[in-house]
């Protein structure tokens, strides 16, 4: 019965999610990478948003995610793209592997995070197109120094990834005086153009 209903009911597709409407009741069915619904697989991640949550999750990262979703792209932002019980590393690795473009939002506490630096290194090593946003920080301030929990190899790997980002033309933004709408719109425009051009 449920299968028959699913076939005849109208569906409204949003990024990474199918919403099936029955009168006033709405059922959200998240499409996973491995499970097909009506022969369709979950859309692969188009854009991976690499960011330091404590600095940017409630501001630029969230705003950029929302704008890209409005454009019918499938962005990946950890707290928006995963559910309780999902495997963090597996989902992040898959999203980076699938994505066409990576947005790296550099902020004052970015380099304190192993996860931020590791994601950046993965994006660079996978040769993904990278769009840096320097949010309240100068590119020259980005570096990893000696850290008791990081090997010399890891520090070198992270600094190489940071160097690649610093040598890539990006956007700079001052959260006190910058135009938020312009930043979000410009970032989205660059992403759309990059995906349309295949890089």
Query: Which tens digit of pLDDT belongs to each residue from 30-67?
Result: 333 333 333 334 568 899 999 998 887 779 999 999 99
The residue range of the domain holding 31 is: 1-43
83 in active site? no
Q: Are residues 56 and 35 in the same domain?
A: no
Question: Is the pLDDT confidence value at 199 over 80?
Answer: no
Place of tokens 């199918």: 18
* Furthest CA-CA distance within the chain: 61
30: tokens are: 């998240």
Q: How far apart are CA 57 and CA 155, in angstroms?
A: 25
Candidate list 33, 83, 112, 119, residue with the active-site label: 119
Cβ-proximal residues to 72 (8 Å cutoff; 6+ apart), any chain: 15
Residue 146 pLDDT grade (very low, low, confident, very high; cuts 50, 70, 90): confident
Give yes or no: residues 21 and 39 share one domain. Answer: yes
What contacts 184, CB < 8 A, 6 or more positions away? 60, 63, 64, 67
Whole-model pTM over 0.85: no
179 and 142 within one domain: yes
Same domain assignment for residues 32 and 54: no
Our count of domains for the chain comes to 2
Encoding tokens for residue 33? 């990478």
Secondary structure (3-state) at 135: strand
């Amino acid at each position: 019965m449920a299968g028959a209903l699913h076939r005849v009911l109208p569906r409204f597709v949003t990024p990474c999610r199918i919403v099936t409407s029955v009168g006033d009741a709405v059922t959200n069915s998240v499409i996973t990478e491995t499970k097909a619904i009506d022969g369709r697989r979950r859309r692969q991640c188009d854009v991976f948003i690499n960011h330091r949550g404590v600095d940017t999750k409630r501001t630029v990262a969230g705003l950029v995610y929302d704008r890209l979703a409005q454009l019918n792209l499938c962005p990946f932002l950890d707290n928006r793209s995963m559910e309780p019980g999902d495997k963090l590393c597996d989902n992040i690795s898959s999203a980076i592997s699938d994505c066409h473009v990576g947005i790296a939002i550099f902020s004052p506490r970015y380099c304190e995070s192993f996860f931020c630096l590791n994601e950046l290194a993965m994006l660079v090593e996978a040769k993904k197109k990278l769009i840096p946003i320097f949010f309240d920080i100068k590119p020259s301030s980005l570096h990893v120094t000696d850290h008791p929990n990081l090997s010399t190899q890891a520090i070198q790997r992270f600094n190489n990834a940071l160097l690649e980002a610093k040598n890539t033309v990006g956007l700079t933004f001052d959260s006190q005086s910058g135009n938020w709408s312009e930043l979000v719109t410009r970032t989205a425009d660059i992403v759309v153009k990059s995906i349309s051009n295949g890089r």
